[in-house]
Amino acid sequence: MSRPVRVLVAKPGLDGHDRGAKVVAAALRDAGMEVIYTGLHQTPEMIATAAVQEDVDVVGLSILSGAHMTLFPRVRQLLAEQGREDILLTGGGIIPKEDMEALETQGIGKLFGPGTPTSALVDYIKTWFAARHQEA
């Protein structure tokens, strides 16, 4: 009675480069996940609202603009305000290692840099989802 993982892929902010987000969305779909891609120029409020409305398990943010230290915590806060702390918030982009570590201490999931095989993200999400449903 397992169901597919539901993932929302979003491009927050003014960054207009979405090729990576589209590649990730396709890889997640190919791995059997249900994927909602919100498109470019999403605000944190739009992303959190869509995640709650779509009842997703995971939100993946693609951030190349350098605003990751603002955008990830804001989306996490908005999800928490809507009672959805259970959603895994992960993502990737141009994020220095020290910032990845700082964000993970704030409750953000594993973050992925350029060149990471999509299989690493797929495996991470599947492992997280399986562990979450074993606990339930």
- Tell me what the mean pLDDT of segment 114-123 comes to: 96
Q: At 61, is the secondary structure helix, strand, or coil?
A: strand
pTM of model > 0.85: yes
Does 77 reside within a domain? yes
CB atoms within 10 A of CB 100: 17
Does 50 reside within a domain? yes
Does 39 reside within a domain? yes
- Tell me what the mean pLDDT of segment 5-25 comes to: 94
Q: Is the pLDDT of residue 41 over 90?
A: yes
pLDDT tens digits, residue range 55-107? 999 999 999 999 999 999 999 999 999 999 999 999 999 999 999 999 999 99
Domain housing 84: 6-130
How many structural domains does the chain have?
1
Sheet holding 58-63, edge to edge: 34-37, 6-10, 58-63, 88-93, 111-112
Does 135 reside within a domain? no
